[in-house]
Amino acid sequence: MDKLKVAVLGATGMAGQWFMSLLEEHPYFEVVAVGASKKSAGKKYREAVKWIIPKPFPEKYGDLVVFNASNADELKEHVDLIFSALPSEVAGDIEIKYLKKGINVVSNASPFRLEPDVPLMNPDVNPDHLELLKYQKRWGAKLVKNPNCTTAVLTMPLKPILNEFGIEDITVTTLQAISGAGFAGLPAYAITDNVIPYIAKEEYKVEVESKKILGKLEGNEIKPATFDVEATATRVPVLDGHTEVLYIKTRRQVDAELVKDVLRSYRSRVQELNLPTAPRRPLIVMEEVDRPQPRLDRLNDKGMAITVGRIDITAKGRVRMVIVGHNLLRGASGVSLETAELMYKEGYIT
């Protein structure tokens, strides 16, 4: 089978490095071009990147010459798809340039996530939302977004609970890894021996993106979920892996063992298709009283599964649980790649 040719924008950053690592031996996609900032343009990829993720450097891509990602005309190779790991503050305008050249884009960045014709994809949760692409007409190609990393982790266990019991409201407190702020995002003095109880715009993203992802596709639009979401986002001195503490008020009365069974048995379209990046078990339930933990559980099932523990029912009848997911795999590069795999298998890219 001939592989589709892809380019990675923002290839020198942390999310970009995960893209390059995940794509090195991918059965569907082959990287033929890498884009980064103007200061990296013209260098070989091995010279431009400071490799920091805990995976070996992908030697097969080391001699690719980096082009200036902000100038779409510098992309000389034919590509079928672009993966964008560009910073959100510049991504919107740059991605549109490639869309207008007829190149589909799957992006980590926040611009356009809430636009009504743009699928906001967490494929284990809302694979049917890709149908929005049939109505997306404004560019010469198709744009798909993945959610904020915290939202990607959160919506995984919420989906089967919403399906089985309904949800009235959710309260979530997040303990987010420092890698979510990027390699240079936080001074060591600020985060060492500390917890920072605020992350700009994070709580808003969790509240609105969750409702879109868990909403229903009706014709050419998504009807957002109607439950309330209250979020408190904090940054903690953990390298990778977001921990979230959830309190869920369900519409139907439940017990803890039934919740565990529903989570363990959950499967989606991506498991049915056996996509390369999809976890075999999207939700891993642990019985140990001190699990999950980010250091021990963030890489479960290729870093794409969500690990759930401390499941019980509070005195007020809420479902309480603690969840852990890898913010750069399930929350960024991995979920984008899984989305592209679903697009490929469902015929949206050829």
**Cβ 26 vs Cβ 52: under 8 Å:** no
Q: Catalytic residue among 78, 129, 149, 326, which? A: 149
- Plot region of 271 (φ>0 → left; ψ -120 to 50 → alpha; else → beta): alpha
The neighbour count for residue 238, using CB atoms within 10 Å, is 21
The per-residue pLDDT string of the chain (350 residues; one tens digit each, 9 = 90 and over) reads 689 999 999 999 999 999 999 999 999 999 999 999 999 999 999 999 999 999 999 999 999 999 999 999 999 999 999 999 999 999 999 999 999 999 999 999 999 999 999 999 999 999 999 999 999 999 989 999 999 999 999 999 999 999 999 999 999 999 999 999 998 889 999 999 999 999 999 999 999 999 999 999 999 999 999 999 999 999 999 999 999 999 999 999 999 999 999 999 999 999 999 999 999 999 999 999 999 999 999 999 999 999 999 999 999 999 999 999 999 999 999 999 999 999 999 999 97
Rounded Cα distance, 306 and 285, in Å: 9
CATH superfamily of 149-325: Dihydrodipicolinate Reductase; domain 2 (3.30.360.10)
On whether the 4-148+333-345 domain is CATH 1.10.599.10, my answer is: no
C-alpha distances in Å from residue 70, one per residue of 89, 92, 109, 176, 249: 12, 11, 14, 30, 45
pTM of the model: 0.96
The neighbour count for residue 102, using CB atoms within 10 Å, is 9
**Cβ 65 vs Cβ 73: under 8 Å:** no
Give 276-333 as a DSSP string. TTS-SSSEEE---TT---HHHHTTTTTTTSEEEEEEEE-TTS-EEEEEEE-TTTTTTH
Nearest of 109, 6, 11, 85 to residue 51 by alpha carbon? 11
What angle separates helix 149-165 from helix 256-265, to the nearest 10 degrees?
Answer: 110
Annotation marks residue 242 as catalytic = yes
Rounded Cα distance, 327 and 253, in Å: 31
Tokens of 239: 């390298």
Overall residue count recorded for the chain in this entry:
350
Q: Catalytic residue among 78, 129, 242, 326, which? A: 242
Annotation marks residue 149 as catalytic = yes
Residue ranges of domains in the chain: 4-148+333-345, 149-325
Q: Report the Cα 222 to chain-centroid distance in Å.
A: 19
